[in-house]
Amino acid sequence: MSEFILLYFVIIPLVMMGVLYLIPGEKKDLIRKTMAGGSALLVALAAYITIEFIEQRSAGATAPYLFTASKVWYEGFLNIHLSLGVDGISVAMLVLSSVITFTGSFASFAVEDKAKEYFLWFLMLSIGVFGFFISIDLFTMFLFYEVALIPMYLLIGYWGSNAKEYAAMKLTLMLMGGSAFLMVGIFGIYFMGTPDGAHTFEMVTLMESVSKNMPIEWQHIFFCLTFVGFGVLGAMFPFHTWSPDGHASAPTAVSMLHAGVLMKLGGYGCFRVAMCLMPQASADLGWIFLILTGTSVFYGAYSACVQNDLKYINAYSSVSHCGMVLFALLMMNQTAFTGAFLQMLSHGLMTALFFSLIGSIYGRTHTRDIRLMGGMMNIMPVLCVCYVIAGMASLGLPGLSGFVAEMNIFVGSFQRSVLSYEEGNWMFLIFTILACTSIVITAVYILRVVGKMLFGPIQDQHHASLSDANYFEKIAAFGLIICVAGIGMYPSLWTGILNFDLPRLVSLFADKTIVAPF
């Protein structure tokens, strides 16, 4: 096995970009075949890494990260390395990213205007995502994080719809603002979290040295900076407002990759950087962000109930579901952690499915207003049945991925809440109960959309002659449905992968007393 095998997640998209650059823009079929073949290769690579990871962990490999490799980028003052490695959480995120890149490529086949340039920027976005998940050097992780954000401006600003320039600018400014917080936090960890003369961005070293070398007052400051910086991308209240506008204006595949994977960088970063490097600060100040993330859960769900635009409904639903990820992480026990990462997988797949279907429906009806649609089930049954399946996953129907994820989140949250309540702190219990109400609210807005859009009389007679899903739309939708159902029916595969490493990470918080002011 190549020492830098993980780097192929970056090399493959780079090679695809080179091939696309050489293909004349008018040869759209060749461009699409290149995207389909290259993204399929990424799925195969993710599957291979997953199998090898399971085999090595099952054989007794206990290193914090597997498939590690390191190469000096800058040996001077900053001591930056291209350090790669994965654990169970990273492997799950790589599988999610590859699946959504593959299905998003097929969902983008309808793009006609400057298709080559569109796919080039799409691949740049995927490079940032893959590079982020395989990096175990804090600076390199931040570098790939920025690479993932930059293409969003052009992809939305040029290929988007409605108020696309406003949405692109708002998204870029807010996410770059979060990046400013991150940069201060990362350099603070670098300089104050390691002894003089031994500064490093290596995350394995930092996990051992930050708590020993950094005064707790500074840990509090840098914890807040990094959690807010990543929380902006995770649509944490009140920094979530870029998300609905960005999703509503983005082209279909960009919405899929953005909501399905890019927002997961927020939750992953909050856990990997803010919480794991500064566990005592997480225990001391986590209650502040528990309030914000708990607000995201029920605020996003309630806001989705009053929307009439399909993309805005799904965007506010994403605010709620991503808030649930951060909410679960702050409970700091293994059950809640398992639920949080399963929710990343589940939400990534089902929201990508939603946006894929919404793009297909909008491409035919030229409207996303559910009040102007009706009787769609008789007109395009394949797309509509797929939409119902996505909706059932979103509201947590047993047998689909949403049920497994949310059950772990709420069981883990109640475990923490009961312990805190016995200690005289009732805040955790109150917010857990409020978060649980989101299940009911989710059912309300999903069933509302299904009732208005899919059933009843046809609102516009021009819709009666519309076609159903074509072959590449079916590939995207069916592929995502198989994954959603696979997690729901066989969750032990993914909980097993996660649990190879979660006990070690949970132990970071085992002796920490979680503080709550009331």
Average pLDDT over residues 23-44: 91
The residue type at 496: G
**Residue-wise pLDDT tens digits, 5-21:** 999 999 999 999 999 99
- The helix/strand/coil state of 202 is strand
- The conformational region for residue 385 under phi > 0 = left, psi -120 to 50 = alpha, else beta, is alpha
Tens of pLDDT along 249-307?
888 778 887 888 888 899 999 999 999 999 999 999 989 999 999 999 989 999 999 89
**Dihedrals phi, psi of 66, to nearest 5 degrees:** -110, 165
Q: Which two tokens stand for residue 336?
A: 């809640």
Q: Which residues of 179-202 are buried (b: 16+ CB within 10 A; e: fewer)?
A: bebbbebbbbbbebbbeeeebbbb
Q: What is the DSSP letter of 491?
A: T
Closest to 309 measured CA to CA, from 374, 368, 384, 245: 368
Q: Where do the structural domains in the chain lie, given as residue ranges? A: 2-510
> 456-483: per-residue pLDDT in tens?
788 778 888 888 888 888 988 999 999 9
What string of DSSP letters covers 275-304?
A: IHH-HHHHHHHHHHHHHHHHHHHHHHHHHH
pTM for the model stands at: 0.94
Contact 283, 509 (CB under 8 A): yes
d(CA 331, CA 349): 24
Residue 227 is predicted with a pLDDT of 96
Q: 105-114, 154-163, 190-199, 264-273 — which one is most confidently predicted on average?
A: 264-273
Q: What is the pLDDT of residues 328-358, one digit of tens each?
A: 999 999 999 999 999 999 999 999 999 889 9
pLDDT in tens, 204-215: 999 888 888 899
User: Mean pLDDT throughout 437-462?
Assistant: 86
Q: With bands split at pLDDT 50, 70 and 90, how would you rate the model's confidence at 2?
A: low
